[in-house]
Structure 1
Amino acid sequence: MTFRIATVTDIKQIQVVRNAVKENTLSDPNLVTDKDCEIFLTQRGKGWVCEISNQIVGFAIVDLEDDNIWALFVDPKFEKQGIGKKLHQLMLDWYFDQNKEKIWLGTAPNTRAEVFYRKSGWQEIGTHGKGEVKFEMAKQEWLKQKA
């Protein structure tokens, strides 16, 4: 299992993982284009991938412009191996190293993702979009958790 910074050459495999998930699925896979991924990886933020045998099995992308987690997904065949937790840690460590003070995300209610974020110390602050739960993490809270 290898964790590394994502590159534009990873986008095809990132899209495979994104479309393999069973929760927080896209109503239309064309809503998130390869160009969108490229912009978030190269201009708006940064991403990380987890590879097993040269196959991307998980990825995370953070958006510095809107101060949010744009994506964090693990292929269902590779869940419960700590991949999401490690991608989450790499992403938030980097994000808060950019002198940012807080970050937010939205996720569908009553999902494993919602449980994951609650267990990871995120604070619910309302709703976002089409009924998603909106969470926030402050830099001080993240640093406190790591201590």
Structure 2
Amino acid sequence: MTLFLRAATPADVRTLFAIRTAVRENHMSLDELVAAGVTPDSVADLVQSPDAGTWIGLWDGEPAGFAMARQDPGDVFALFVLPEMEERGVGRALLTQAEAWLASRGLACAWLLTGGGPGLRAAAFYEARGWVAAGREHDGQIRFTKRLAASSVGEETHFRTR
């Protein structure tokens, strides 16, 4: 089995939304995303922005997950994996890519927000990858930070998996 990461394009926006609305944890419907200001147009703008990086993970050629990072404010804005693709290294590879991209932009530290409710696995996922909890936001999300190191991970990356 092979995982391939590539830079997302505007043609992938529909796929990004399909992945985002399919997740089990931190689920949001399309209507909820739009109400929060995350629209197909705003995502297409991010995908095309030189100040943001967006990658789609393809498992044997099929969409499995995606990540988005923004140079300013220096965050991992999104990281989502289809439920049936969990536990295959997709999220780990996408997070590594986002971290490397932020480091390549000269950032020494990055941050992200994730849900912090009981039973959610995201906090443990980030902690296992060196992210440190730095408090809670007013909406209950946990803010994580991480010191970044330069990396050679590129825009297109192949990963061999089990």
Question: Do they superpose with TM above 0.5?
Answer: yes
CA–CA separation in structure 2 for the residues paired with 1:40 and 1:20: 21
Letter in 2 for 1:48: W
Residues 13, 55 of structure 1: 8 Å contact kept: no
C-alpha distance in structure 2 between counterparts of 1:36 and 1:135, whole Å: 24
2:39 is aligned, of 24, 33, 41, to 33
The corresponding residue for 1:136 is 145
Q: Give the secondary-structure state (helix, strand or coil) at the position aligned to 1:20.
A: coil
Secondary structure of 2:68's aligned partner: strand
Match of 1:18 in 2: 20
Shift of 1:29: 3.5
Identity of aligned residues (%): 27
2:77 matched to 1:45?
Answer: no
* 1:66 is aligned to 2:76: no
Runs of 4+ residues over 3 Å off in structure 1: none
* Aligned partner (choices 103, 115, 126) of residue 110 of structure 2: 103
Residue 130 of structure 2 corresponds to 121
C-alpha distance in structure 2 between counterparts of 1:81 and 1:53, whole Å: 12
CA distance in 2 between counterparts of 1:139 and 1:82 reads 20
CA RMSD, 1 decimal: 1.7
SS in 2 for 1:99: coil
TM-score scaled by length of structure 2: 0.81
Q: So what's the TM-score if we normalise by structure 1?
A: 0.89
Structure 1 pair 129–56 and aligned structure 2 pair: CA distance change class (3 A) = farther
Unaligned 5+ segments in structure 2 are 152-162
Relative contact order (alpha carbons < 8 A, sep ≥ 6): 1 or 2 greater?
A: 2
Structure 1 gap segments, 5+ residues each: none
Counterpart AA for 1:69? V
